[in-house]
Amino acid sequence: MNSIKIDDTYAEAFETKASYLLITAATRELAYTAAVEATGFATSFIGCPAEAGIDGYVESSKTPDGRPGYSIIICQNTTKKLEQQLLERIGQCVLTAATTAVYNLLPESQIQSNLGFKLSFFADGYQEKIERYDRTLYKIPVMSGDFLIEENIGITDAVAGGNLYITAKTQQTALVAAQAAVNAIREIPGVITPFPGGIVASGSKVGSKKYDFMHATTNERYCPTLKDKISDSKLSKDTNGVYEIVFDGLDEERINLATQSAINAIKTIPDVQEISAGNFGGKLGKYKIHLKR
C-alpha cells in the first residue's frame, strides 16, 4: 500500500428515496443493455430527473426466473417523484428492451409502489395478473413475446452523496485512482456510483459566489488551473489533478463501507497525494461519513 494523506474530515451525505430492482434477460448482455439505458442521464439531482446506476451482476442461479440479471438502484428525493421515474424509466427503457423481466429487490419495504399494475395498462386489456416464482406478476403481451414485471416495487429511505476527493501530481494519476475506487465501490451490494464511469471531473460547491441563479458551481479551491489565481486554493503547487467519486447507497452503513473500500483501493495507486471529501457545513444533508474510522 502506498502512503497517502487522509484528510481528517467527513463527506456530507443526505437523505433520498430509492428503489432496488432486478432486470433479467435471456443473456447477460441483453440484461446489461437494458440496465444501462434505464440508469442513463441520472448523475445528479441538480440537473437530472434521478440519480441511478447499476448495482451489480446477479447470477442466473440467484434470480427468480433462472436467467442472468443486473440489479439497479434509482433514487429521487420524494416517493412521488421516484414513482414517476420508475414508471418512465422501466416503461421506456426495460419494457422496450429485448427479452427482459423486472423483479422487486425490496419486498420487505413498507412502501410498495404498484409499478407493475400501472405498466400493465400498456397491454390494452390483454394483461394478466399471475402468480409465479412466489411472486405476483403482470404478464404483458408484446411483439417479442410476453413481458413480466412484479406487481409491486419497494421504495426505501436511502443515503445519497457519499463522496471522496482524490488529489494527485497528475490528472491521470487521480483518474486511475478514481477508477480503482469505483471498481471497489461497485463490488459492494446496494451502492451505486451514478456519474459517468462513476467519476466526477467537475466537483461542485453548493450555490455560487457570483451568480444568484446557480444552485451549484465549480469548487474553485480544488481546481488545479486556478491554484495560482486564487488566494484560498486547497491545492499544493505540484497538484495537477483532482477527481471526485460520488456514491449512493441503501443505508448509511453501506456508504461507510464504500468509503473505506474506496480509500483502500486508492492506496494501491502510486503518486496519489491526498484523499479528502466534500462537506458543506450541514447545508446539504444530515449524514457525516468520516474518512478516518
Candidates 9, 44, 79, 136; binder of a second copy (CB under 8 A) is 44
Smallest CA-to-CA distance from 147 within 89, 91, 63 is with 91
Q: Tell me the residue ranges of DSSP E strands in the chain.
A: 5-6, 10-24, 51-58, 69-76, 101-104, 111-113, 128-132, 135-142, 145-150, 153-168, 191-192, 199-200, 204-206, 216-218, 241-249, 272-276, 287-290
- Would you say 15 or 270 has its CB closer to a second copy? 270
CA dist 30 and 72 (Å) reads: 14
Residue 170 found at the interface with a second copy (CB under 8 A): yes
Candidates 11, 72, 73, 97; binder of a second copy (CB under 8 A) is 97
- The cell numbers describing 105, all together, are 429487490
Candidates 79, 114, 218, 233; binder of a second copy (CB under 8 A) is 218
Contact mark string toward a second copy, 147..166, x via CB under 8 A:
x-----------------x-
Residue 280 found at the interface with a second copy (CB under 8 A): no
Write down the least CB distance from residue 261 to a second copy, Å. 7
Residue 173 found at the interface with a second copy (CB under 8 A): yes
Distance of CA 9 to the CA centre of its chain: 23
Residue 197 found at the interface with a second copy (CB under 8 A): yes
Residue 241 found at the interface with a second copy (CB under 8 A): yes
Residue 171 found at the interface with a second copy (CB under 8 A): yes
Contact mark string toward a second copy, 105..144, x via CB under 8 A:
----------------xxxxxx-------------xxxxx
Could you tell me which stretch among 14-22, 104-112, 153-161, 213-221 binds a second copy (CB under 8 A)?
A: 213-221
- Buried b / exposed e along 249-286 (16+ C-beta atoms within 10 A): bbebebbbbbbebbbebbbebeebbbbbbbbeeeebbe
- Would you say 34 or 250 has its CB closer to a second copy? 34
Size, binding site for a second copy by CB under 8 A: 111
Write down the least CB distance from residue 203 to a second copy, Å. 5
- The cell numbers describing 162, all together, are 457519499
Smallest CA-to-CA distance from 73 within 257, 292, 208, 254 is with 254
CA dist 91 and 80 (Å) reads: 16
Write down the least CB distance from residue 177 to a second copy, Å. 8
Residue type, 16: T
Candidates 9, 96, 114, 136; binder of a second copy (CB under 8 A) is 96
Site for a second copy in 13-42 (CB under 8 A): 26-30, 33-34, 36-42
- Phi and psi at residue 233, in whole multiples of 5°? -60, 145
Residue 270 found at the interface with a second copy (CB under 8 A): yes
Q: Give how far Cα 94 sits from Cα of 22, 51, 60, 138, 185, Å.
A: 11, 17, 18, 14, 25
Candidates 129, 214, 283, 290; binder of a second copy (CB under 8 A) is 214
CA dist 48 and 40 (Å) reads: 10
Write down the least CB distance from residue 137 to a second copy, Å. 15
Candidates 64, 68, 249, 285; binder of a second copy (CB under 8 A) is 68
